[in-house]
Structure 1
Amino acid sequence: MNASKLLVIAGWVITVAVIAFMLRDISPDLQQAPWAVKANASLGVPGNVVLAIGILGLVSTLVYALPQTSTLGAILLTGFLGGAIVIHLRVNGGIFDMGENALVGVLAWGGLWLRAPRLRAVLPIRRRQPTAMAGS
Protein backbone atom coordinates (compact mmCIF):
# COMPACT_ATOMS: atom_id res chain seq x y z
CA MET A 1 0.00 0.00 0.00
CA ASN A 2 1.43 3.38 -0.95
CA ALA A 3 1.96 6.28 1.46
CA SER A 4 -0.81 8.37 -0.06
CA LYS A 5 -3.39 5.65 0.53
CA LEU A 6 -2.20 5.21 4.12
CA LEU A 7 -2.63 8.96 4.72
CA VAL A 8 -6.21 8.80 3.45
CA ILE A 9 -7.02 5.77 5.62
CA ALA A 10 -5.50 7.43 8.70
CA GLY A 11 -7.44 10.59 7.90
CA TRP A 12 -10.73 8.72 7.72
CA VAL A 13 -10.01 6.89 10.99
CA ILE A 14 -9.43 10.23 12.72
CA THR A 15 -12.45 11.78 11.00
CA VAL A 16 -14.75 8.95 12.13
CA ALA A 17 -13.40 9.32 15.69
CA VAL A 18 -14.16 13.08 15.62
CA ILE A 19 -17.67 12.45 14.26
CA ALA A 20 -18.33 9.77 16.90
CA PHE A 21 -17.11 12.07 19.67
CA MET A 22 -19.26 14.95 18.46
CA LEU A 23 -22.38 12.77 18.15
CA ARG A 24 -21.83 11.42 21.67
CA ASP A 25 -21.19 14.92 22.98
CA ILE A 26 -24.26 16.60 21.45
CA SER A 27 -26.76 13.77 21.98
CA PRO A 28 -27.72 14.86 25.52
CA ASP A 29 -28.23 18.43 24.27
CA LEU A 30 -30.47 17.21 21.45
CA GLN A 31 -32.46 15.10 23.92
CA GLN A 32 -32.46 17.96 26.43
CA ALA A 33 -31.39 15.52 29.10
CA PRO A 34 -31.96 17.11 32.52
CA TRP A 35 -28.33 16.61 33.54
CA ALA A 36 -27.13 18.30 30.32
CA VAL A 37 -29.44 21.28 30.87
CA LYS A 38 -28.16 21.52 34.46
CA ALA A 39 -24.52 21.24 33.36
CA ASN A 40 -25.02 23.98 30.79
CA ALA A 41 -26.77 26.15 33.37
CA SER A 42 -23.72 25.82 35.64
CA LEU A 43 -21.72 27.33 32.77
CA GLY A 44 -24.15 30.21 32.40
CA VAL A 45 -25.94 28.79 29.37
CA PRO A 46 -29.74 29.17 29.66
CA GLY A 47 -31.74 25.98 29.40
CA ASN A 48 -33.80 27.33 26.51
CA VAL A 49 -30.74 27.35 24.19
CA VAL A 50 -29.44 23.84 24.92
CA LEU A 51 -31.42 22.33 22.04
CA ALA A 52 -30.12 25.03 19.67
CA ILE A 53 -26.55 24.23 20.74
CA GLY A 54 -27.20 20.55 20.02
CA ILE A 55 -28.64 21.35 16.60
CA LEU A 56 -25.67 23.60 15.72
CA GLY A 57 -23.29 20.85 16.78
CA LEU A 58 -25.19 18.27 14.74
CA VAL A 59 -25.28 20.44 11.62
CA SER A 60 -21.56 21.23 11.94
CA THR A 61 -20.76 17.54 12.38
CA LEU A 62 -22.89 16.44 9.41
CA VAL A 63 -21.36 19.10 7.16
CA TYR A 64 -17.91 17.88 8.27
CA ALA A 65 -18.86 14.24 7.62
CA LEU A 66 -19.75 14.82 3.97
CA PRO A 67 -16.65 14.81 1.75
CA GLN A 68 -18.09 17.52 -0.51
CA THR A 69 -18.52 19.97 2.39
CA SER A 70 -15.89 18.72 4.84
CA THR A 71 -13.75 21.86 4.74
CA LEU A 72 -16.73 24.05 5.57
CA GLY A 73 -17.62 21.52 8.27
CA ALA A 74 -14.14 21.77 9.78
CA ILE A 75 -14.53 25.56 9.89
CA LEU A 76 -17.94 25.22 11.55
CA LEU A 77 -16.64 22.67 14.06
CA THR A 78 -13.71 24.95 14.87
CA GLY A 79 -16.13 27.77 15.67
CA PHE A 80 -18.43 25.48 17.65
CA LEU A 81 -15.59 24.03 19.71
CA GLY A 82 -14.01 27.46 20.13
CA GLY A 83 -17.26 28.68 21.64
CA ALA A 84 -17.17 25.79 24.10
CA ILE A 85 -13.60 26.70 25.05
CA VAL A 86 -14.59 30.33 25.66
CA ILE A 87 -17.52 29.31 27.86
CA HIS A 88 -15.20 27.15 29.97
CA LEU A 89 -12.62 29.94 30.17
CA ARG A 90 -15.29 32.41 31.23
CA VAL A 91 -16.28 30.34 34.24
CA ASN A 92 -12.74 29.22 35.04
CA GLY A 93 -13.52 25.76 33.79
CA GLY A 94 -11.04 22.97 34.08
CA ILE A 95 -8.14 22.64 31.69
CA PHE A 96 -9.47 19.20 30.75
CA ASP A 97 -12.70 20.61 29.33
CA MET A 98 -10.89 23.28 27.35
CA GLY A 99 -8.16 20.89 26.22
CA GLU A 100 -10.68 18.27 25.14
CA ASN A 101 -12.44 20.77 22.87
CA ALA A 102 -9.15 22.08 21.47
CA LEU A 103 -7.93 18.54 20.81
CA VAL A 104 -11.11 17.60 18.95
CA GLY A 105 -10.73 20.71 16.78
CA VAL A 106 -7.10 19.88 15.99
CA LEU A 107 -8.04 16.28 15.22
CA ALA A 108 -10.87 17.44 12.93
CA TRP A 109 -8.42 19.46 10.86
CA GLY A 110 -5.74 16.76 11.07
CA GLY A 111 -8.11 14.08 9.81
CA LEU A 112 -9.25 16.33 6.99
CA TRP A 113 -5.67 17.25 6.09
CA LEU A 114 -4.65 13.59 5.93
CA ARG A 115 -7.56 12.53 3.72
CA ALA A 116 -7.72 15.55 1.40
CA PRO A 117 -4.76 15.83 -1.00
CA ARG A 118 -5.98 19.26 -2.18
CA LEU A 119 -5.90 20.56 1.38
CA ARG A 120 -2.38 19.15 1.84
CA ALA A 121 -1.38 21.06 -1.28
CA VAL A 122 -2.79 24.32 0.09
CA LEU A 123 -1.44 23.77 3.62
CA PRO A 124 1.79 21.81 3.14
CA ILE A 125 4.13 20.84 5.91
CA ARG A 126 7.39 22.41 4.91
CA ARG A 127 10.73 21.12 5.97
CA ARG A 128 13.23 23.61 7.20
CA GLN A 129 15.68 24.55 4.49
CA PRO A 130 19.33 24.25 5.43
CA THR A 131 20.92 27.64 5.74
CA ALA A 132 24.26 28.44 4.23
CA MET A 133 26.99 29.16 6.74
CA ALA A 134 28.06 32.78 6.76
CA GLY A 135 31.31 33.21 4.92
CA SER A 136 31.02 29.90 3.05
Structure 2
Amino acid sequence: MPTNAETAVSNPARITGRIMSGLVIVFLLFDGAIKLVPWTVVTETMDRMGYGASEQLARSLGIITIVCTLLYSVPPTSILGAILLTGYLGGAIASHVRIGSPLFTHTLFGLYLGLMVWGGLYLRDANLRRLFPFRR
Protein backbone atom coordinates (compact mmCIF):
# COMPACT_ATOMS: atom_id res chain seq x y z
CA MET A 1 0.00 0.00 0.00
CA PRO A 2 1.46 3.39 -0.93
CA THR A 3 2.29 5.80 1.85
CA ASN A 4 0.97 9.34 2.08
CA ALA A 5 4.35 10.64 0.89
CA GLU A 6 4.02 8.62 -2.33
CA THR A 7 0.56 9.99 -3.11
CA ALA A 8 1.04 13.52 -1.83
CA VAL A 9 1.01 16.30 -4.37
CA SER A 10 2.13 19.88 -3.95
CA ASN A 11 -0.36 22.71 -3.72
CA PRO A 12 0.77 24.21 -7.09
CA ALA A 13 0.22 20.81 -8.73
CA ARG A 14 -3.27 20.56 -7.19
CA ILE A 15 -4.09 24.07 -8.44
CA THR A 16 -2.77 23.14 -11.88
CA GLY A 17 -5.03 20.07 -11.84
CA ARG A 18 -8.05 22.19 -10.96
CA ILE A 19 -7.24 24.66 -13.73
CA MET A 20 -6.81 21.85 -16.28
CA SER A 21 -10.06 20.24 -15.18
CA GLY A 22 -11.82 23.61 -15.20
CA LEU A 23 -10.76 24.30 -18.78
CA VAL A 24 -12.01 20.87 -19.87
CA ILE A 25 -15.30 21.37 -18.03
CA VAL A 26 -15.94 24.82 -19.56
CA PHE A 27 -15.07 23.59 -23.06
CA LEU A 28 -17.25 20.46 -22.84
CA LEU A 29 -20.21 22.30 -21.30
CA PHE A 30 -20.03 24.82 -24.15
CA ASP A 31 -19.72 21.96 -26.66
CA GLY A 32 -22.75 20.23 -25.16
CA ALA A 33 -24.76 23.46 -25.02
CA ILE A 34 -24.27 24.30 -28.71
CA LYS A 35 -25.48 20.80 -29.55
CA LEU A 36 -28.65 21.36 -27.53
CA VAL A 37 -29.64 24.45 -29.52
CA PRO A 38 -28.41 23.04 -32.15
CA TRP A 39 -26.54 25.65 -34.13
CA THR A 40 -26.26 25.26 -37.90
CA VAL A 41 -22.52 24.68 -37.65
CA VAL A 42 -23.24 21.64 -35.46
CA THR A 43 -25.66 19.96 -37.86
CA GLU A 44 -23.49 20.82 -40.90
CA THR A 45 -20.43 19.33 -39.22
CA MET A 46 -22.35 16.19 -38.24
CA ASP A 47 -23.50 15.86 -41.85
CA ARG A 48 -19.91 16.20 -43.15
CA MET A 49 -18.86 13.50 -40.71
CA GLY A 50 -21.47 11.13 -42.10
CA TYR A 51 -24.07 11.26 -39.31
CA GLY A 52 -26.63 13.35 -41.17
CA ALA A 53 -27.92 16.76 -40.14
CA SER A 54 -30.14 15.35 -37.40
CA GLU A 55 -31.11 17.90 -34.75
CA GLN A 56 -32.35 15.05 -32.54
CA LEU A 57 -28.95 13.31 -32.67
CA ALA A 58 -27.20 16.61 -31.96
CA ARG A 59 -29.40 17.19 -28.92
CA SER A 60 -28.80 13.63 -27.69
CA LEU A 61 -25.05 14.06 -28.00
CA GLY A 62 -25.33 17.41 -26.21
CA ILE A 63 -27.15 15.79 -23.28
CA ILE A 64 -24.58 12.97 -23.12
CA THR A 65 -21.72 15.48 -23.17
CA ILE A 66 -23.23 17.61 -20.42
CA VAL A 67 -24.12 14.65 -18.17
CA CYS A 68 -20.64 13.11 -18.50
CA THR A 69 -19.02 16.50 -17.88
CA LEU A 70 -21.14 17.13 -14.79
CA LEU A 71 -20.18 13.70 -13.45
CA TYR A 72 -16.54 14.61 -14.05
CA SER A 73 -16.90 17.96 -12.29
CA VAL A 74 -18.31 16.51 -9.04
CA PRO A 75 -15.53 15.00 -6.88
CA PRO A 76 -17.35 11.81 -5.76
CA THR A 77 -18.20 10.88 -9.38
CA SER A 78 -15.19 12.41 -11.15
CA ILE A 79 -13.50 9.10 -12.01
CA LEU A 80 -16.74 7.72 -13.51
CA GLY A 81 -17.12 10.96 -15.47
CA ALA A 82 -13.53 10.70 -16.74
CA ILE A 83 -14.12 7.11 -17.88
CA LEU A 84 -17.32 8.09 -19.73
CA LEU A 85 -15.64 11.13 -21.29
CA THR A 86 -12.79 8.92 -22.45
CA GLY A 87 -15.25 6.73 -24.33
CA TYR A 88 -17.02 9.76 -25.79
CA LEU A 89 -13.74 11.30 -26.95
CA GLY A 90 -12.63 7.96 -28.36
CA GLY A 91 -15.75 7.94 -30.53
CA ALA A 92 -14.89 11.42 -31.76
CA ILE A 93 -11.37 10.28 -32.65
CA ALA A 94 -12.76 7.25 -34.51
CA SER A 95 -15.16 9.48 -36.45
CA HIS A 96 -12.33 11.77 -37.53
CA VAL A 97 -10.16 8.81 -38.56
CA ARG A 98 -13.04 7.43 -40.62
CA ILE A 99 -13.44 10.61 -42.69
CA GLY A 100 -9.71 11.33 -42.98
CA SER A 101 -9.58 14.56 -40.97
CA PRO A 102 -6.22 16.27 -40.45
CA LEU A 103 -4.26 14.29 -37.85
CA PHE A 104 -2.86 16.84 -35.41
CA THR A 105 -5.66 19.42 -35.45
CA HIS A 106 -8.84 17.35 -35.70
CA THR A 107 -8.21 13.64 -35.19
CA LEU A 108 -5.95 13.94 -32.16
CA PHE A 109 -7.94 16.75 -30.51
CA GLY A 110 -9.90 14.14 -28.56
CA LEU A 111 -6.61 12.67 -27.33
CA TYR A 112 -5.38 16.10 -26.22
CA LEU A 113 -8.63 16.70 -24.37
CA GLY A 114 -8.54 13.22 -22.82
CA LEU A 115 -5.01 13.82 -21.56
CA MET A 116 -6.22 17.03 -19.93
CA VAL A 117 -9.20 15.16 -18.40
CA TRP A 118 -7.00 12.51 -16.80
CA GLY A 119 -4.03 14.77 -16.05
CA GLY A 120 -6.20 17.30 -14.27
CA LEU A 121 -8.00 14.58 -12.35
CA TYR A 122 -4.73 12.88 -11.38
CA LEU A 123 -3.33 16.11 -9.98
CA ARG A 124 -6.47 16.98 -8.01
CA ASP A 125 -7.65 13.55 -6.80
CA ALA A 126 -5.67 11.69 -4.11
CA ASN A 127 -7.72 8.50 -4.65
CA LEU A 128 -6.57 8.29 -8.25
CA ARG A 129 -2.96 8.91 -7.21
CA ARG A 130 -3.24 6.08 -4.67
CA LEU A 131 -4.68 3.80 -7.34
CA PHE A 132 -1.90 4.62 -9.86
CA PRO A 133 1.16 5.79 -7.94
CA PHE A 134 4.10 6.92 -10.06
CA ARG A 135 7.41 5.90 -8.55
CA ARG A 136 10.57 8.00 -8.73
Superposition TM-score, scaled by structure 2 size: 0.86
- Structure 2's unaligned 5+ residue stretches are 1-7
Structure 2 distance, partners of 1:60, 1:92, is: 27
Match of 1:59 in 2: 67
SS in 2 for 1:125: coil
Q: Which digits, 9 at most, give the CA deviation of each residue in 1:26-79, with x for residues without a partner?
A: 222111112210111110113131111111111110100001100000001101
Does residue 80 of structure 2 align to residue 72 of structure 1? Answer: yes
SS in 2 for 1:126: coil
Residue correspondence of structure 1 range 23-38 to structure 2 within 5 A = 23-38=29-44
Matched residues, percent identical?
37
Among 83, 91, 110, which residue is 1:83 paired with? 91
Higher relative contact order (CA closer than 8 Å, sequence separation 6+): 2
- Structure 1's unaligned 5+ residue stretches are 128-136
SS in 2 for 1:59: helix
CA contact (8 A) 2:17 2:121 kept: yes
CA contact (8 A) 2:89 2:110 kept: yes
Does residue 130 of structure 2 align to residue 121 of structure 1? Answer: yes
SS in 2 for 1:49: helix
- Counterpart amino acid of 1:113? Y
Does residue 114 of structure 2 align to residue 105 of structure 1? Answer: yes
- Cα root mean square deviation, aligned: 1.5
Seen in structure 2, the aligned counterparts of structure 1 residues 63 and 3 have a Cα distance that, compared at 3 Å, is closer
